[in-house]
Structure formats: C-alpha cells, structure tokens
Amino acid sequence: MTPSRLPRILALLAAAVGAVLFGSAPATAADAASTNVNDFDFSSWDSTFEISLDDEGRAKMHVEETRVAEFPDFDQNRGIVAGYPTSFEGASIDTRILSVRDENGDDVPYETDDDDGFLYVLTGNDDYVHGPTTYVIEYEMRDVILAATESGLDEFYWNLLPLDSTQDIASFHAEIRFDDQLAEHLTGSASSCYQGEQDSTATCDITIDGATFSVAARDVPAGEGLTVAIGLDSGTVTQPSARQPNAATDVLPYAVGGGALLLSLGGWFATRSMIRSRRRGTGIIVAQYDVPGSMPPLLASAIVPKAKDALSAQIIHLAVQGLLRVEELPEEGQKKRRPRLRRLEAPIPDPLDERSLKALFGSTELGVVMKMPKNSSSFAARIQKLLAAAPKEADKRGFTTKARSTLARIIQALALVVFAGMVLLLGWGMFTGRASAGPVFFVTLLCGIAVLISSVVAFKKHTVLTREGALQLEYLEGVREFIRVAEADRLQMLQSYTGAERRSDGSIDVIHVYEKLLPYAILFGQEREWGKVLEVAYGAAQQDPEWVNGSHYGLVTRMLIFSSVTQTSSTYTAPSSGSSSAGGSMGGGFSGGGGGGGFSGGR
C-alpha cells in the first residue's frame, strides 16, 4: 500500500464502520450520493516558505500554509489530512509540525502519524465540520537545498503542491523568501517554474522581487502540481553527511559484491572441474567398433556427457538387435506414414532392454504392433519413467555415484562471508539514509541471487562417474572415435589382427558392425554422418536394413523423422483445466521532480 492511499482508506473504513455502528443515513438524495471524505475542494491555498541557514551552514525552512476547505453542509468530514515527506534525496529533512490554527489564530486539534517516509497531520476530532473551514499549518524542515546539480548550482527544487492530491484548488499562491545570507548567493535568472501532472515539463510564471519568488495559479485540478527550481551559487549550502560522498557505503559495496561474485564463479569452476576429473579413467582412448550387450544406449546416456536423443537411440538399438522392427507403411485409406513398432522374438541382451520393450508396448507379448502415438499421456508417462530409470541403473551398476567438491565448498563459504559483508554495508547505508542505498540494494539483490545459485551448485552432491564408469566412458569415446574417422581407417581397423579375430571384412559383416553402432551415433549426435555411411554400405551390398520396413526415404531422412516422432510421443503433456532530482533551475526540469509535495485529503 502506498503512503498516499493509507489516510483515505482509513477514512473510508472509519465512515463505513460508523454507518454500521450508529445507523447513520444521509438526510437527502444529494447527501446519499456523497460517500467519500475526499469529496470537497479548496477555495484557496496560500503558502509562505522562509529559507535560511543555521549555524552549521545547512538550509532550514519555515513554512506556513493557509488552506480554506469547502466542506459540504451534511456530515461527511471531520477535518483534512495533510502529508509531508520526512526525507529528500537520501537525507532526513527533520520535518516537524509546529501548530495548526484557524483563521482567528485559535488552535485546531490535530494528531500526527509517521508512516513510510511521510508525516501525516490529521486535523479535527469527532465533530463534523461544514462549509468554508480554514486551516493554518505551520511546520519546519531542514536540508531542503541540494548541492550543485547538473546546472552547476546549488538548488532549491521544491514541489509546492502535492501531486497526490484529491482536491481541486480554485486559487493558489506561494512566496519563497530567502534570508539576507542566502540572498547574496541567488543567481537571479536561474529560476524556473513547472506546472502539471507528474513529469510534466509545462512551464509557469515565477515573479522575482529581490530575494522573494512568487508563484500563482488558478483552478488547479486534483493531481496537478507546481514545482519551483531556484539556483544559488555552488557551495552556498552545507550538505548533511547522508548526501556527502562516503566510499564505505557508496563504492565499497560494489567492490565487495564483485569479490563475492568472483569467489562464487571460482566455486562453480571448482565443482565443474571435479565433475570433469571424475570422467578420466586411463586417459587413453582407443577406437572401438563394438559395444557390449551390457551397455545399451539408454544406460550409456547416463554416462556420456550431453548425450542426445536417448529414446530414439534405444529403439533403434532394439531394432538392430532383432527385438522389434520399425514399420512405416501407410494405413489403409491414409497417405501419411506414422512409424509403427512390431515386437519380434530374439534374445534380450540386457534387463534394461527388456524394460524398454515393456515401456514401449505395455506388455511382453510377441507380435504386438504399436503405432507411435501423438497425444497419449499413459505412453508418455511410461517413457518418462523409463528415461528416469537410466541414471538409477547407472548408479546401481556402480558406474556413477554422488560427490561434492571440497575445494568448491571452501571457496563458496568464503563467497558467502564476503556477501554478508556486502549486506552489512547495505544496511549501514540504509540506516544512515544514504542516497546510494537504492542502487546498492538492487545490485545486492542481483549479487545475492548469483551467490545463492552458486552455493546450491557448490554444496549439493553431484552425480559423477566412478572409476568403472570412467573406463566405460572411455570405451564409448572410442566408439565415437571409430564413427568419426574416415572409411579407409575404419576398414583398416576391422582388418587388423585383433579385428580379424572378431569380425571378417566382408561387406555384409561390415554392415552388421556399422548398424549396431547407429544407436550410439544417435547418442553422440552423429546420426547424419553415420546414416550416410550406412546408406553407402547398404547400396554396395544391394540390400535394405532388416530392422525397418516400408520407407521410401533414405536412412538419414528416416532417422531424423523417427527421432522427431519419438520426441513428440514421449513428451506429451495432458492439457490443464484450469523520482530523481537532476536540477531544473536552468530548464530541463519537470513537475514533481523536487522535494516537498506530500499528500492532501480529507478525514
């Protein structure tokens, strides 16, 4: 809730409670139409601002406001509410209410309420007031003149009227008087007046008579203000400590925050370095053209960093193992082809392969045909559960474990200590009312978010490879190397002494070797290159893959289409139901840009 709304809301609540408790009702239709204590205007508003210097050379201001409120004749208002700021440009201005009187000089009862940077004056008591009613409010402030601004001058930049006002003003007049000591430093021509809503640059007339500046306006609508900017020689006024440079609150927090960020970055790098170091087994990668049956692509995806489409890789793996066939024949009466999977009988190399078949087909029955669904929440749930099983299986088989980086935790602990220092400096700046506290708060918030994220990374346990897992990763990297090298190099590897023991070099045997590596090429993001290699091999052997049927596309296009379909099928989700003072005395200012202003309303 904004300060300006608090008094009017309290007044409305009070009126509503009073109506309920006392059963009061408007006496006339016109009375009934008026239910808001702010429904009145001011026939006149006259202010006198007297500005001088105290013994310390700091500005002090004595103000006397005479407001004539035109209340309705029925029981609506008990007085007015006037709000005054208690700080200006990062420094307290020591706002003090001296008295509230009527037109005869008699005291008017009032009470004050200090809330969120404003001092509210609530006039009157439980008695209703009617018709023209005069209020003379006398108050004092200090440090109302700013040090040299962009204009190069000290400046009295002040809002003579509250922009957050709910009353029209028929006639307004204000005089700003500087004492003899300040009059010597007035620049004369460096003065401006602005009128209008917040940020309006429309100018108004200001009359100068020696050290007295006058502003007048008629028919000022609610929410429209008048702002004056009057220049004085630079260095005329001593500023409060809150506005004077202080490296401890204005500069040091940024340096400390930067240190916290650098340490957090170091903690993050230490964590990443620990994770990467656990991927090293022997440090030697040898090209491999076979993958053991105990390492299906789904399990390999939990070991290979940034593995690609694990589901497509696993399905193609099941296909080349003879456990299913991918069919792309169009259904009767339809032109579009959507892949179907047919369950075949063959030895199952690994328990994770058996689990994959159950997730795909929903049963263990042979000969079942399943069309890849578009929008099946049950299928997507089964697949997501299958994919989530891969890292658990890797941990169960001893390939991965959980670990923290000791170095990262030490560095991040230091980052937290340094950030705490930044928070303390911010608190100091806010407590002393520094103007820099606002920007420092924003930077501290951003820094805090970064430090928090880095702390989570540094202190939590991460999934890392065990010694055995690192060896398995190096083996898979060898497979990646075999897929990467030129065809001549691959054939040479297959015809080597150790290769000849395992495979002959016939073209059919080469195809068998190559197609069994296709699922892992998908994991590595090499399906395009490896698909082209297989297309050439199949063409040379004048045969098509046994594990796919009915497609008129080349193998590369076929794999890309199939990958897109499997990703769509496995990720289906069911639809749900459900203001700054830059100076204005030399022009370029605006209404509402200075201090003062406040709030005006009824009670």
Plot region of 520 (φ>0 → left; ψ -120 to 50 → alpha; else → beta): alpha
Backbone φ and ψ for 538, nearest 5 degrees, come out as: -65, -40
**Predicted confidence (pLDDT) per residue in 202-239, tens digit:** 889 999 999 999 999 999 999 888 999 998 998 899 98
**Predicted confidence (pLDDT) per residue in 251-307, tens digit:** 999 999 999 999 999 999 999 999 999 999 998 999 888 899 899 999 999 999 999
How would residue 580 be classed by pLDDT, with cut points 50, 70 and 90? very low
State the average pLDDT over residues 522-551.
83
Count the helix, strand and coil residues of the chain and give each as a percent rounded to the nearest 5. Answer: 40, 25, 35
Q: Give CA–CA dist 369/361, Å, rounded.
A: 8
- Give the position of tokens 């013994």: 55
**Predicted confidence (pLDDT) per residue in 370-388, tens digit:** 888 877 888 889 999 999 9
Q: What is the pTM of this model?
A: 0.62
Backbone φ and ψ for 114, nearest 5 degrees, come out as: -95, 115
* Percent of the chain residues past pLDDT 70, beyond the cut: 83
pLDDT of residue 506: 52
* DSSP-assigned states of every residue in 504-520: ---HHHHHHHHHHHHHH
Q: Give CA–CA dist 194/292, Å, rounded.
A: 83
pLDDT of residue 259: 95
- Torsion, Cα 240 241 245 247, to 10 degrees, reads -170
Q: Decide if 45 contacts 124 (C-beta within 8 A).
A: no
**Predicted confidence (pLDDT) per residue in 405-428, tens digit:** 999 999 999 999 999 999 999 998
Residue 24 has pLDDT above 50, yes or no: no
Strands 41-53 and 59-71: antiparallel
Residue 575 has pLDDT above 60, yes or no: no
pLDDT of residue 330: 59
Q: Decide if 350 contacts 294 (C-beta within 8 A).
A: yes
| 3-class secondary-structure state, position 41 | strand
pLDDT of residue 512: 81
Structure tokens at 122: 């609530």
Q: Which amino acid is at 314?
A: Q
Residue whose C-alpha is closest to residue 141's, from 112, 119, 123: 119
From residue 399, give the alpha-carbon distance in Å to each of 40, 283, 363, 394.
Answer: 79, 17, 29, 5
pLDDT of residue 212: 94
Q: Decide if 84 contacts 598 (C-beta within 8 A).
A: yes
pLDDT of residue 14: 47
Q: Give CA–CA dist 166/160, Å, rounded.
A: 15
pLDDT of residue 35: 64
Q: Which amino acid is at 334?
A: Q
pLDDT of residue 181: 93
